[in-house]
Amino acid sequence: MSDREPVIRVRGLARSFGENRVLAGVDLEVGPAENVVVLGRSGSGKSVLIKIIVGLLAPDAGVVEVFGQDVHRLRPRELDAIRVRIGFSFQSSALYDSMNVRENLEFPLRMNRRGLTEGAVRDAVNEALDAVGLAGAIDQMPSELSGGQRKRVGIARTLILNPEIMLYDEPTAGLDPNTCGEINELILRVREKYHTSSIIITHDLTCAKVTGDRVAILLDGVLFRIGTFESVFADPDPRIRSFYDYNFVTKATS
Amino acid sequence: MPRSRSLLSPGVDRFLAAVGDGSEFVVRFFGSFWRPPWHVREVIRQCFEVGVRSLPLISLTGFITGIVFTKQSRPSLAAFGATSWLPSLITLALVRSLAPLVTALVCTGRVGSSIGAELGSMKVTEQIEAMEVSAINPFKYLVVTRTLATTLMVPVLTIYCCFVGLTGSFLNVAGNEAQSLQAFVKSGFAQISFLDLWSSVAKSFIFGFTIGIIACYQGFHASKGTEGVGRAANASVVLAMFAVFIEEVLIVQVIHWLRSV
Ligand SMILES: Nc1ncnc2c1ncn2[C@@H]1O[C@H](COP(=O)(O)OP(=O)(O)O)[C@@H](O)[C@H]1O
Ligand SMILES: [Mg+2]
C-alpha cells in the first residue's frame, strides 16, 4: 500500500432498520493523517456510519475497506487485528464504570498485549494519560469525573494501543464551550503525536471548522457535500443553509 | 420494502424470535467456553461475587426452612407416633428438593438480577461495544465468565444450604425429642441414596447455568435508556424463576424414571 493510498475507503454503503432507511449509498475516503468531519443532524445516521466502519454493525450493501481490507469479509481474528489499530471514542465515553481510570486504560492493553511487564504497562498508562492531560485522575472512578474528563479518559484508553485511525463520535456533545475548545485541541494534538487519520462525527460547526481538513454533510442517507469547511458552507443549497442556521440558532444536542 | 407479514400474531412471533435468539445464545456459550482465552481470574472473581452476594441470605433461608419444615411436619408424624421419622423425612425433603430450590431462588433474586442490571447498564452505555472495538470478545469476557461462575457456585451453595437446613432441623429435633447428633445423622441419611445426592447436585448445576445465562441474555439485549436496565434485571429474575420451576418438574420425572429402572 503506497503512502498516499486512502486508509479508509467506503463505497455505496447502505443500511436500513426495518422501514427506516438510514444510510442510502455513502462514499467516503480518508487519507493518511487526514481529519475528515462528518456533520449531520441528530438521528441522521452518523453513529451508524462509524459503527459500520469498525464492524459493530453490518451494512445491507456497500464496501468498507480499512488498510485495504474489506472489514465485513474478515474472519473474527483478522477483524480484531484491524480493530486494535483503530481507536473509537464513544459518544457516551463508554468508560468501564466498575474500574478506575488506571484499570480502564490497562484493560485493553493487558488483553491485547499479553506478556507485557508491569513497568511497561505503567509507562504506557502514564504516557496515554499525559497525552490527554489527565495524569492526576489516575486513581479516580469514572463516576467522579466530569463529562470532559470522561471524554479524555475514553480517548486515552484508545491511544494506549497506538492507533493509526481515530473515530470520534460526537466528541464535544454535551460539553460547555470551553471544554469543547479543549477537546478540539486534543483532537489536533493526537493527530500530531500519533499521526492518526480520523473521522470526527459531530453536529457542532465550531468543532468541524477547527478539527477538519475536509468536511462532509450527511443528509438523507448520503454524504451530500464533501470539501473544505469554507467550500461546503459557501454552497447556497437551502438544506446546507438551514443546517448552518439550525446549528447556530438552536444548538440541539443528540 | 414490503412489510413482513407475521406468521401467527405479532406477540407469538416475538416470543418465537426470542426463543430462537435465546437458543442461539446458549449454543454460542457451548461453542466458546472451552476455547482460550479463558479469563480465569475473572471467573474466580465472579465466583466470589456469587458466593458473597448470596451466602447471608442462603444461611438465613436455609436455616429457617430446616426449622420450620421440622416444626410443621411434627404433628402429622406424631399422630402416628412416628416422630422418630422426622430426621429422615427432613433430610429427604432437603436433599431432593428444598435445598436446590431455595438456593436457586435466592440466587435468582440476588445474583440473576445483579448480573442482568450490570450487563444491561454496560449495554446501554456502550461499554460492551467498547470492548468489542478493543478486540476483546465481550461474550467471552462477560457472559462466559458469569455463567460459569453461577454454574459452579450454585451447586456449592446448594450443598451449603442443605447443611444449614439440617443444622436448623437438628436443633429443633434435639430440643423436642432430645435426639443426639449421631442418631439424627444416622437416621437422617438412612433413606438417602447415591442417586439422590448426585441428581441434586446435577440439578443445581442446571439451575446455576439457567440463572447465569438468562441474566446475561437479558443484559446483552437490554434496550436503550435507564428503564431498559430495570427491565433487564426484572426479566432476569422472572424468567429464571419460571425456568427453574419448569426444569424442576422435568428433572423430577427423569429421576423417577431412573429410580424405577
Ligand atoms: N440498533 C438500531 N436498531 C434500530 N434502529 C437504529 C439502531 N441504531 C440506530 N438506529 C436508528 O438509526 C437512525 C440513526 O441513528 P444514529 O446513527 O445513532 O444517529 P446520529 O446521527 O444521531 O448518531 C436513528 O433513527 C436510529 O433510531
Ligand atoms: Mg450518534
Q: Which amino acid is at A167?
A: L
In a domain, B232, yes or no: yes
Q: Whose CA is nearest to atom 7 of ligand 1?
A: A17
Task: Name which of A159, A240, A173, A166 is nearest A207 in CA terms.
Answer: A173
Task: Name which of B43, B42, B232 is nearest B151 in CA terms.
Answer: B43
Q: Which residue of chain A is at minimal alpha-carbon distance from B2?
A: A19
pLDDT digits (tens, 9 = 90+) for B12-52: 888 888 899 999 999 999 999 999 899 999 999 999 999 99
Q: Cα(A254) to centroid of ligand 2, in Å?
A: 7
Place of cell 432498520: A17
pLDDT digits (tens, 9 = 90+) for B44-54: 999 999 999 89
**Contacts for A220-226: CB closer than 8 Å, 24+ residues apart:** A220/A24, A221/A14, A221/A21, A221/A22, A221/A23, A221/A24, A221/A25, A221/A26, A221/A45, A222/A23, A222/A24, A222/A25, A222/A26, A223/A26, A223/A27, A223/A28, A223/A38, A226/A28
**Could you tell me how far CA B148 lies from the centroid of its own chain?**
12
| Chain B residues lying within 8 Å of A158, measured CB to CB | 134
The domain containing residue B114 runs over which residues?
39-260
In a domain, B26, yes or no: no
**Could you tell me how far CA B107 lies from the centroid of its own chain?**
6
Q: Using the beta-carbon criterion (under 8 Å), do B134 and A95 form an inter-chain contact? A: no
Interface check B40 vs A, CB under 8 A = no
Structural domains in chain A, CATH included, are 8-85+165-253 (3.40.50.300), 97-162 (no CATH)
Give the mutation target among A17, A204, A217, A253 for probing the ligand 1 site: most ligand atoms within 8 A of CB.
A17
Interface check B129 vs A, CB under 8 A = yes
Interface check B52 vs A, CB under 8 A = no
Q: Using the beta-carbon criterion (under 8 Å), do B135 and A108 form an inter-chain contact? A: yes
The pairing of beta strand A222-227 with beta strand A214-219:
antiparallel
| CA end-to-end distance (rounded Å), chain B | 58
- Length of chain B in residues, anyone? 261
Q: Whose CA is nearest to atom 16 of ligand 1?
A: A45
Does the pTM of the predicted model rise above 0.80?
Answer: yes
Task: Name which of A198, A227, A195, A216 is nearest A3 in CA terms.
Answer: A195
pLDDT digits (tens, 9 = 90+) for B50-92: 999 899 999 999 999 999 999 999 999 999 999 999 999 999 9
> How many Cβ atoms sit within 10 Å of the Cβ of residue A252?
11
| CA B193 – CA A113 distance, rounded (Å) | 51
Q: Cα(A39) to centroid of ligand 2, in Å?
A: 11
pLDDT tens for chain A, 254 residues: list them.
456 789 999 999 999 999 999 999 999 999 999 999 999 988 999 999 999 999 999 999 999 999 999 999 999 999 999 999 999 999 999 999 999 999 999 999 999 998 899 999 999 999 999 999 999 999 999 999 999 999 999 999 999 999 999 999 999 998 999 999 999 999 999 999 999 999 999 988 999 999 999 999 999 999 988 999 999 888 888 888 877 776 665 444 44
* Range of B4-8, B82-86, B115-119 with top mean pLDDT: B115-119
Our count of domains for chain B comes to 1
Give the mutation target among A20, A22, A44, A88 for probing the ligand 1 site: most ligand atoms within 8 A of CB.
A22
